[in-house]
Amino acid sequence: MQTPLAWKNLTSSYAKCVLAATGVGFAVVLMFMQIGFRNALIDNNIQIFTLFDTERANLAIVSQARYNISTEQRFPRSVLEAAASTAGVRDTCAISVERGTASVQVPGFPARPIRAIGIQLDNGNFFRQPEIYKALAGTSGTRSALADSRSKREYGFNRDRGTITEQTVELNDQALHIKGEFQLGTDFGNDGSLLMSEATLGQYFPWRKPFGNPSDVVDFALLEVAPDADLDQVAAQIQALAPKQIEVWATRDLIQREKRFWATATPIGKIFLIGTIMGLVVGAIICYQIQFTDITEHMPEFATLKAMGYGPGYFWSVILSQSLYLACLGFVPGLLVSWGLYQLLAQVSGLIMTMTLGRIALVLVLTIGMCAISGSIAIRKLFSSDPASLF
């Protein structure tokens, strides 16, 4: 039976083994957190789409000047009305968003900026959860809204056993009745949200259209295209209605555009990518030091094996096996710690910190590669030694 030399070397001192695994685990946690923050940036900024049934709402219209969904460039409702008459379009839903000019104050708490979302309700339910549409329809015609139950607690919304109960607050210095709740979540620009009918939004933000109806402008719109219609052809026909004012996207493509924007076109997206790379570099340095030290301490034994005729292939197998063991020993505790931190940060900050199988696999591959590369560099010490000089 062949002696598992790699495992024996690694566990010859349990204290050193634990220390080595801790070093690799630290690098694993660092990579997980940077990847988690980067994906939270991407996922949170498109989460408004999670409110809607994107299988039904398979087409979207935005202003041509709206380079991402958070900006406030709008297009005329008349364009949407014309689009609704296009062959193949079954239904439309106008969505209006106010961020920079919306301020809510709960009695006993300071005023805070908030995101106000107004939804067109007269064309049917576009929500993923029917109960949201039902609750929102009950507020139509009244100065009422639903509050995001995942808004930060600093707003002061009443919470009774985990739910937001009826409450009167002030939105832009006007009374607003909170009639219920929905779930959306925070992102890097919004700590909370209110959901209301489009007509109610216009009452609190008349400056959306200073010399007309505030509902005459739309932030973006979702359209339902019939299954038997050609989606690209319908999109092209709608685009031709106002080629200098709007862009028409398949909803799934618009979501991907938003992801690419936040991942590649913003400094913060690049910062988290660099952070992930730095975590990999730090882990590689730690792993190199561990394996270089181990090779140095066992150099007489390795020299003996070289003198006995063991070739480079054998030593490569030992060091790379040791690298694999080290990666696995460090990855498991690093994964558990990262999962706990994800849960904690999700609760405290409201950010979407999701430990997906894809992200776990990515960090595992990076960890194994990091340890393998470090071992490959450290093994040069072994190959450059002369067995005769060590006896």
Distances (CA, A) of 328 to 271, 281, 295, 335, 366: 28, 18, 20, 10, 12
Which secondary structure element, helix H or strand E, spans residue 39, and what is its range? Answer: helix 14-44
pLDDT score for 386: 58
Cβ-count burial 62-81 (b if 16+ within 10 Å, e if not): bbeebeebbeeebbbbebbe
Which secondary structure element, helix H or strand E, spans residue 235, and what is its range? Answer: helix 231-239
pLDDT score for 1: 38
Beta strands in 210-363 (DSSP E): 217-218, 220-225, 246-250
**Tokens describing residue 122:** 């007269």
pLDDT score for 137: 84
Which of 278, 289, 279 minimizes the C-alpha distance to 375? 289
What's phi and psi for 357, nearest 5 deg? -65, -35
pLDDT score for 3: 58
- Residues of the chain short of pLDDT 70, as ranges, are 1-6, 9-12, 161, 309, 381-391
Euclidean distance between CA atoms 261 and 258, whole angstroms: 5
pLDDT score for 338: 93
Which secondary structure element, helix H or strand E, spans residue 364, and what is its range? Answer: helix 357-378
Euclidean distance between CA atoms 237 and 246, whole angstroms: 12
